[in-house]
Amino acid sequence: MSIPLSILDLVPVPTGTTAAEALRRTADLARLGERLGYVRYWFAEHHSMPSVASAAPEILIGHIAAATTTIRVGSGGIMLPNHTPLKVAETFRTLAALHPDRIDLGIGRAPGSDGNASRALRAVDGNEFPGLLAELLAFTGQRAFPDNHPFRRIVAVPGEVPLPPITLLGSSGASAQWAGSAGMGYSFASHFSPTPAGPAFRIYRESFKPSAAFDKPHAILGVAVVCAETDAEADHLATTMDLAWLRIRRGEFKPLPSPEEALAYPYSPAEREAVRDYRSRTVIGSPAAVRAQIEQLVQECGADEVMAVCNIHDHAARLRSYELLAAA
């Protein structure tokens, strides 16, 4: 089986490094991904988390698009409740003008932060997402404002540049139906969601209506991956996210621990069970093992593309993980 591969980057910040250093290293991974044939490189939006440095994906998209030549670059995603639709439309039309046919716009409905950070961002309630999405589409001409709407005459500049293709991010049937009925792409976050992707993908395909951006459905499966030369080495590298995931569950967003830190942590029986649950949603192993696991996931849900996120403490090992994945 051959399936297109892409990269999701949360810009992880390992212990012993700074967020600024993690940001500068994004170009290393993007250039490697381009050389290896990865289709796209997306940044997630998160706020007030010392463990990740992807608070401003729109800036990182411009940085990486300028540092590469062919790989598509985009958001995975822009959390729409944190932004005004007009600002998103203008930002991504500007990016599309600077980097034609290379920009993607992934949209999410979650805030990507805790309650306090959401309030500081002046984020609106996630229940308002359908209205925000409709407003964004109206600013781009894909839908129309009513004749008496106060925003009807506003132009999202540069007005002559089409908005990049929109992919809706989600982990539920509701988001899948929205994506399908609007003729968007759909990306399922199985790297953190315990829900199987198959039912959501079926809803997406059944509700899909062709659009100017997508003449047929395009379903992307987000997968957490740790790939190394051997199963034992991959298991060792994966201990980083064992402890990091445990901390996230407790609302702690510390920098990524090293495997040595993670192995020294005194896990309780309940915590070990939580780690086992997380591991069940992560693809870990040698290239052959990783290929078999990903092929199985794709067969189960019918994904058109796999987007891998490799949160590994050591920068060189992280690059190597993506290299081995592409080779597999």
**Which two structure tokens, joined as six digits, stand for 161?**
């540049």
**pLDDT for position 116:** 83
pLDDT digits over 293-312, tens only?
Answer: 999 999 999 999 999 999 99
- Whole-model pTM? 0.95
pLDDT digits over 186-226, tens only?
Answer: 999 988 888 899 999 999 999 999 999 999 999 999 999 99
Q: Is the per-residue pLDDT at 141 higher than 80?
A: no
Q: In the chain, what are the domains?
A: 5-226+286-327 (3.20.20.30)
Exposed e or buried b for every residue in 209-236, given b needs 16+ CB within 10 A? eeeebbeebbbbbbbbbbbbeeeebbbb
Torsion angle defined by CA atoms of residues 102, 154, 120 and 194, in that order, rounded to the nearest 10 degrees: -50
Q: How confident is the model at residue 1 (pLDDT cuts 50, 70, 90)?
A: low
Q: Which residues contact 25 (CB under 8 A, 6 or more apart)?
A: 315
pLDDT digits over 97-106, tens only?
Answer: 999 999 999 9
Round to whole Å and give the CA distance between 180 and 175. Answer: 9
Q: Which residues contact 241 (CB under 8 A, 6 or more apart)?
A: 224, 226, 256, 278, 282, 311
Round to whole Å and give the CA distance between 318 and 169. Answer: 24
Strand pairing report for 305-309 and 166-170: unpaired
